[in-house]
């Protein structure tokens, strides 16, 4: 299995461990149309890769991913065909992550926002530095949290806490995220590489099929919940992508001010 066709991420292999690095560092690995499309395919390819047993997902340049690229979001706004295509890719990303039997570890340095946050939280292990920032601010830009947040946050920290963050869009730092169970572990910046490597090697040295199929068994319940949520959340996000409030939020982001929503 080769990954030469992927341009917005780099894929490296060390023995049985595959590392996927989101690679748009100048924009904090914000997701543009090409990266979005590549993310909708990469985890299916990884699942078929017979030379890899463990996966690490990270971002280049001191960020995991800052979420959707503003230029792309503005290009999508008001276009029902383009937004539907984008939402379809979101569903593919979520489902392919849940279907991936190989254990996947997120190494988070810096912001993991929006889709970037969902990518991290859908991983089996999430290691982050104290200064890392997790946020799903869809509501802050007039959108439904349709690319994974409505699925995964309640499963990790419970519905009460999930509402606290998903209905406000507030961020949470790495140390607190670990304390409440949103992520696996908070690790100092100078120790995170080693911590992730140690866990990856431990998993790779384990009984491969026992590890994979135990993960698949755990994910069976999560997938049942996800099946009840993904289509509704995705459809409602698509609707809000066409609304005036989202356009007002994008304009405000361009002008570095808070939006004033009008409720339509």
Averaged pLDDT, 155-160: 98
The answer to the question of residue 178 being in a domain is yes
What percent of the chain has pLDDT above 90?
100
Q: Indicate the DSSP class of residue 165.
A: H
Domain with 86 in it: what CATH number? 3.90.226.10
**What does the block give as tokens for 138?**
């869809």
Averaged pLDDT, 85-101: 97
Residue 7 pLDDT level (bands cut at 50, 70, 90): very high
The answer to the question of residue 43 being in a domain is yes
Q: What is the pLDDT of residue 1?
A: 85
**pLDDT greater than 90 at residue 153:** yes
Q: What is the pLDDT of residue 55?
A: 98
What percent of the chain has pLDDT above 70?
100
**What does the block give as tokens for 74?**
């503005």
The answer to the question of residue 213 being in a domain is no
Averaged pLDDT, 136-140: 98
The answer to the question of residue 248 being in a domain is no
For residue 52, the enclosing domain spans 9-190
Q: What is the pLDDT of residue 232?
A: 96
Q: What is the pLDDT of residue 250?
A: 96
pTM assigned to the model: 0.97
Q: Which of 127, 126, 102, 108 minimizes the C-alpha distance to 65?
A: 108
Averaged pLDDT, 51-59: 98
The answer to the question of residue 99 being in a domain is yes
What CA–CA distances, in Å, run from 44 to 93, 114, 152, 210, 224?
A: 9, 22, 20, 20, 19
**pLDDT greater than 90 at residue 116:** yes
Q: What is the DSSP string of 181-247?
A: TSSSEE--TTTHHHHHHHHHHHHHTS-HHHHHHHHHHHHHHHHHHHHHHHHHHHHHHHHHTTSHHHH
**pLDDT greater than 90 at residue 23:** yes
State how many domains the chain has: 1
β-strands 172-173, 133-135: how paired? antiparallel
Instruction: Give the list of residues 6+ apart from residue 119 with CB closer than 8 angstroms, or none.
Output: 39, 57, 64, 65, 93, 97, 106, 112, 148
Q: What is the mean pLDDT of the chain?
A: 97
Q: What is the DSSP string of 62-111?
A: S-SB--B-HHHHHHHTT-HHHHHHHHHHHHHHHHHHHH--S-EEEEE-SE
The answer to the question of residue 226 being in a domain is no
pLDDT one-digit tens code per residue, 182-198: 999 999 999 999 999 99
β-strands 54-59, 17-22: how paired? parallel
**Sign of the C-alpha dihedral computed for residues 228, 231, 235 and 237 taken in this order:** positive
pLDDT one-digit tens code per residue, 203-235: 999 999 999 999 999 999 999 999 999 999 999
pLDDT one-digit tens code per residue, 229-262: 999 999 999 999 999 999 999 999 999 999 999 9
**pLDDT greater than 90 at residue 33:** yes
The answer to the question of residue 135 being in a domain is yes
Averaged pLDDT, 52-65: 98
The answer to the question of residue 217 being in a domain is no
Rg (the chain; Cα; Å): 18
């Amino acid at each position: 299995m080769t990954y030469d066709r992927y341009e917005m991420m780099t894929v490296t292999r060390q023995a049985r461990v595959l590392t996927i690095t989101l690679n748009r560092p100048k924009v904090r690995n914000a997701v543009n149309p090409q990266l979005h499309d590549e993310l909708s395919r990469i985890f299916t390819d990884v699942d078929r890769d017979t030379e890899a047993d463990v996966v690490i997902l990270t971002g280049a340049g001191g960020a995991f991913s800052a979420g959707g690229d503003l230029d792309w979001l503005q290009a999508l706004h008001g276009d029902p065909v383009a937004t539907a295509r984008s939402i379809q890719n979101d569903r593919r990303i979520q489902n392919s992550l849940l279907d991936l039997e190989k254990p996947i570890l997120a190494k988070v340095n810096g912001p993991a926002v929006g889709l970037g946050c969902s990518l991290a939280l859908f991983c089996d292990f999430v290691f982050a530095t104290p200064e890392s920032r997790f946020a799903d601010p869809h509501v802050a830009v007039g959108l439904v949290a349709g690319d994974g947040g409505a699925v995964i946050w309640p499963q990790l920290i419970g519905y009460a806490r999930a509402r606290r963050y998903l209905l406000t869009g507030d961020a949470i730092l790495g140390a607190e995220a670990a304390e409440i169970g949103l992520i696996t572990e908070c690790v100092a910046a100078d120790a995170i590489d080693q911590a992730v490597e140690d866990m990856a090697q431990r998993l790779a040295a384990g009984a491969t099929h026992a590890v994979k199929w135990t993960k698949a068994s755990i994910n069976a319940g999560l997938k049942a919940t996800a099946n009840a949520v993904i289509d509704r959340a995705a459809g409602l996000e698509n609707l809000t992508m066409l609304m005036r409030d989202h356009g007002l939020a994008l304009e405000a982001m361009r002008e570095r001010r808070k939006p004033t929503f009008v409720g339509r």
